[in-house]
């Protein structure tokens, strides 16, 4: 049984050398754990930085394969959002794209001029504007996604079976680690 608060064990009271040796062992054990933890933390930080770089660059590459000479990456992103959402407001689109309302107004103006989106007054609140995707805009989204998917399929097709298995395993792990489950 260990001593209670304020009590000493018989060994501690009788042998200061044993107490010093025990303290030295505890300090050694703590030193042995700290570098391993520091090395582990450094490894995690290095892995996080590398993963962030790979995800950022791969995301940019994939987005670049959805854009065309007629539609920029931000414009395609707005079109793709509208294809998923059905309709939106300029303010919600600006928030989603992390741009100011004037920037979104310019993007929407160009998309409307190209016939890719339509704008109409909100039926319940005439002060608000609803933005919707036109049929031509939908075709641009579908073509951009197909171009992106074809590029990715070609890249994966060039990989060896072992590399594809590694990508599959990494994809599974990344999904488990980075993407929270939906309720």
For the stretch 42-87, pLDDT in tens is: 889 999 999 999 999 998 898 888 877 789 999 999 999 999 998 9
CATH architecture of 60-176: Orthogonal Bundle (1.10)
Q: Report the pLDDT value the prediction gives residue 67, as an integer from 0 to 100.
A: 75
What pLDDT was estimated at residue 24? 52
pLDDT at residue number 36 = 60
How far apart are alpha carbons 148 and 59 in whole angstroms? 11
Provide the total of helices (H) and of strands (E) in the chain, helices listed first.
7, 3
Provide the pLDDT for residue 9: 37
Sequence-ordered list of residues with C-beta below 8 angstroms from that of 166, at least 6 positions apart, any chain: none
Average pLDDT over residues 157-168: 96
Summarize pLDDT for 130-154 with one digit per residue, the tens: 999 999 999 999 999 999 999 999 9
Distance between CA 57 and CA 160 in Å, rounded?
Answer: 22
Helix H or strand E encompassing 131: strand 129-133
- pTM of structure: 0.66
């Amino acid at each position: 049984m260990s001593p209670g608060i304020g009590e000493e064990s018989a060994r501690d009271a009788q042998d200061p050398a044993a107490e010093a040796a025990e303290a030295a062992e505890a300090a050694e054990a703590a030193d042995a754990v700290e570098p391993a933890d520091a090395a582990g933390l450094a490894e995690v930080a290095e892995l996080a930085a590398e993963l962030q770089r790979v995800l950022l660059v791969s995301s940019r590459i994939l987005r670049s394969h959805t854009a065309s000479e007629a539609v920029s990456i931000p414009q395609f992103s707005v079109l793709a959002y509208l294809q998923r959402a059905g309709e939106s407001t300029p303010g919600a689109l600006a928030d989603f794209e992390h741009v100011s309302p004037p920037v979104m107004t310019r993007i929407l103006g160009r998309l409307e001029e190209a016939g890719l989106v339509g704008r109409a007054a909100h039926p319940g609140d005439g002060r608000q504007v609803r933005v919707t995707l036109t049929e031509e805009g939908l075709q641009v989204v579908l073509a951009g996604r197909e171009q992106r998917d074809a590029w990715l399929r070609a890249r994966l097709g060039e990989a060896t079976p072992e590399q594809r298995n590694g990508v599959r395993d990494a994809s599974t792990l990344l999904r488990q680690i980075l993407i929270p489950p939906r309720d």
